[in-house]
Amino acid sequence: MIKISHEVPKCLLEQSRQFNDYDYCLPHLLDQDPEYLEFFRESKRQGRYIIMDNSLHELGKAYDTKRLLHWIDELKPNEFIVPDVWENHIQSVVNARYWSGMELPKETTKVAVVQAKTLHEAFLCTQTYKDLRYQKIAYSYGASYYNDICIHPNKNIGKALGRVYVISTLLNQEVLSQFDRVHLLGCAVPQEFGWYQGINCIESIDTSNPIMAALEGNMYNISGLTEKPKANMNDHYNTSIEDIDFDLLEANLTLFKNINNLQHGRK
């Protein structure tokens, strides 16, 4: 079953356990916010599945290595996304090679993110991670080369189609197999995840899209959205609970699963 997690403002952390299959941790917030830290300590006590990111998307670069190692050692997440460098496959591979030799808790699976500016670089990056024996590989939603691969008048839809094309091509060329483990980081349009029917290697996804759309007052239609919400976690982490339209939030969460045929989970 594909595991789904939606990042939420701090005021919704407790409620998020009701609709998230796992808890997605941003390590820089562990240092900044005691309430955020306590949430993940409690998640660990409850035995919830935890994926820890490296905070590249939020900070523009991966979080400090010493602090990452500190929090990995304390929380012992089920998965840790090793530091990558945006759209730089060489430096991302260098980092992945370095982290492949790092000793982490035995229960923590290392995940490497493919960064690239071309389809060829995505091939090289993926193959190198497999050669380094990474058990799980992630693909971000926002790479510019997706729009080069799929030229669409709507760049958000083009990026979504581009990622589908990359993963489909990697499977076709047997760089990936249906038995691999893949994580999808974010999305440009929420309906993208319904386009992976028959691609069984997708194991988990994380996206704040239905949450951010609700914060902007936008409800999904039966097809999803054509534009990515401008709202993001950096700007809305401290949103007050009084500003949450819970009916709209619930509608978007339900529609997200419906449009992607994920309401009962799928292989």
| Whole-number Å distance between alpha carbons of 224 and 232 | 18
* Number of continuous H segments (helices) and E segments (strands) in the chain: 12, 8
CA-angle at 153, arms to 150 and 157, nearest 5°: 60
| Whole-number Å distance between alpha carbons of 57 and 102 | 23
For the segment 95-143, what is each residue's pLDDT rounded down to a tens digit?
999 999 999 999 999 999 999 999 999 999 999 999 999 999 999 999 9
More confident residue, 265 or 161: 161
For the segment 161-206, what is each residue's pLDDT rounded down to a tens digit?
999 999 999 999 999 999 999 999 999 999 999 999 999 999 999 9
Which residues, in sequence order, are bridge partners of residue 209? none
Q: Is the pLDDT of residue 267 over 80?
A: no
pTM of the model: 0.96
Query: What are the structural domains of the chain?
Result: 3-208 (3.20.20.105)
Nearest of 189, 170, 63 to residue 114 by alpha carbon: 170
Q: Is the pLDDT of residue 266 over 60?
A: no
The radius of gyration computed from the CA coordinates of the chain, to the nearest angstrom, equals 18
If you average pLDDT over every residue of the chain, what do you get? 96
| Whole-number Å distance between alpha carbons of 187 and 185 | 7
| Whole-number Å distance between alpha carbons of 131 and 265 | 31
For the segment 199-239, what is each residue's pLDDT rounded down to a tens digit?
999 999 999 999 999 999 999 999 999 999 998 888 899 99
For the segment 22-74, what is each residue's pLDDT rounded down to a tens digit?
999 999 999 999 999 999 999 999 999 999 999 999 999 999 999 999 999 99
| Whole-number Å distance between alpha carbons of 209 and 191 | 10
